[in-house]
A and B are shown apart, each in its own frame.
Chain A
Amino acid sequence: MKAFVVSLVALVVISVGANQILTRMGPSSAEAAVSEENVRLSD
């Protein structure tokens, strides 16, 4: 069952890794459309 345990470790690594990459890569689909940073509040 060594292959099974290794696969579980790989699953966690891939999932957390993918999440980190996608989060840091940006912009997300939501951020691509809306951003508070670009609102000009004054001259």
Chain B
Amino acid sequence: MLRLMTLFALLLALAMPATAQEGTDASRAETGGAQTLEDILQRQENQAIDDSFRSDNTGNPEQAAPITDQLGTLGGSSDPDLWRAFRYSAADITTQDRGPATTTLIQDGGMWWLLFREGPLLQITAYLLGGTLLALALFYLIRGRIRIDGEKTGRTITRFKAFERFGHWLLASSFLLLGLTGLISLIGRKFLIPVFGHDTFSFLAIGSKWVHNNVSWAFIVALVIIFVVWVVHNIPDRTDLYWLSKAGGLLGGSHPPAKKFNAGQKLIFWAVIILGGSIAASGISLLFPFEFNMFGHTFSTLNSWGVPGWVGQADLPYPLQPHEEMQYAQLWHAIVSLVLTAIIFAHIYLGSVGMEGAFDAMGKGEVEEQWAREHHSIWAEEVLDTKSSKSEAT
């Protein structure tokens, strides 16, 4: 009996979606084509609803009453039809303004962006940056400062030349300024206005925008410099696998051999180049609104390859309205920047308080010989061999 009841319950459950679908169609007819109770319930549960009953309902001139008659319509479309057409960008709008987005009067498709930007994006910011800082603080408490194990020699070897350090500091200083002003733009409205008030925030936001827009060029120049100067030393090789298998000796034990850059530094280098390059590209797209559209074409290509289907998703939206291009660029710019900032937090930690002797590499350009032997043994041997062969020759 129990089995029979279970089977009956299962069949009933399977039949439910079909019944619900029929129910929607039936109740749509009951509401004269307007939204139904099912639509309202689905929307309340944040489920996707098919709103074609509304978006397609933008007037049919053939069925409209003649405009010469009493109660005639505005040339075949009633006011609600017209507003719906505005809302879903289906209206035939002519303007004297020749801008790329001037015929979009209401952008209903941007609401999800606004809601995401005002809510989840701020949570992602807090969790990602706060979480990284917390993890680094915990790591410091557990592991402490990584000291030079052996006895210091008092001799130094040149780690970075002046131009390399210049490129690094240009990138670092521009990144810090961009990060700070970017955060003011991203979260200022929610967190700074309540503290400082509208007038002070207005001054801060206008200044941040100027700095962010213009310092971006220094960041791009520095990105090119460090790529050109360091790419040769950052090509992955066999030593990186061994270094990674030992977690770089971070968790204790001996220091695995490394060349000028170890696998961890190579990962940071490529993260900076790839993520930084992507941030720069999306930043240029935002700096010149509607001129460089990155997403519509990308989405179309990914759809043609069937990429969304690989992860069980529907096709990505295409074509995109001009505003949507900017909205995707803003989200991409912000999220990739946050990820890179979290990575850079770890880099700053290890390059300063986290490791004895590391800051000298970028500070003075010279590092303690023992530090070099421990952290970059292969590179140190090469440098010292060249040094000794030069002194022998003279």
Contacts and interface: CB of A to CB of B under 8 A. Distances in A.
A1 interface: yes
- A4, A7, A34 interface centre (most CB from chain B within 10 Å): A7
For the complex, would chain B's binding face be called helix, strand, loop or mixed by DSSP majority? Answer: helix
Contact of B174 (A4, A11, A29): A11
A7 B173 contact: yes
B112 interface: no
Interface in B206-240: 210-211, 213-215, 217-218, 221-222
Contact of A29 (B213, B214, B290): B290
B166 A15 contact: no
B215 A33 contact: no
A15 B169 contact: no
> How extensive is the interface on chain B, given as a class?
20 to 34
Contacts of B312: none
B217 A7 contact: no
B159 to A, nearest CB: 12
Contacts of A14: 217-218, 221
Interface in B89-104: 97-100, 102
A2 interface: yes
B162 A7 contact: no
A4 B221 contact: no
B170 to A, nearest CB: 4
A6 B166 CA distance: 7
Contact of B166 (A7, A16, A18, A19): A7
A7 B291 CA distance: 31
Interface string B274-308: 00000000000000111100000000000000000
B169 A33 contact: no
Contacts, number: 62
Interface string A1-25: 1111011101100111011000000
B98 A33 contact: yes
Interface in B24-51: none
B365 A3 contact: yes
Contacts of A3: 162-163, 165-166, 168-169, 365
B217 A18 contact: yes
A19 B216 CA distance: 10
B363 interface: yes
B170 A18 contact: no
A32 interface: yes
A39 to B, nearest CB: 9
A33 B288 CA distance: 12
Contacts of A8: 169, 173
Contacts of A16: 214
A15 B217 contact: yes
Contact of B289 (A1, A2, A4, A29): A29
A43 B318 CA distance: 45
A20 to B, nearest CB: 9
Contacts of B213: 19
A10 B165 CA distance: 13
Interface of A: 1-4, 6-8, 10-11, 14-16, 18-19, 29, 32-34
Given A1-B363, A6-B166, A29-B288, 7 more contacts: A1-B364, A4-B165, A7-B222, A11-B173, A18-B217, A29-B290, A33-B100
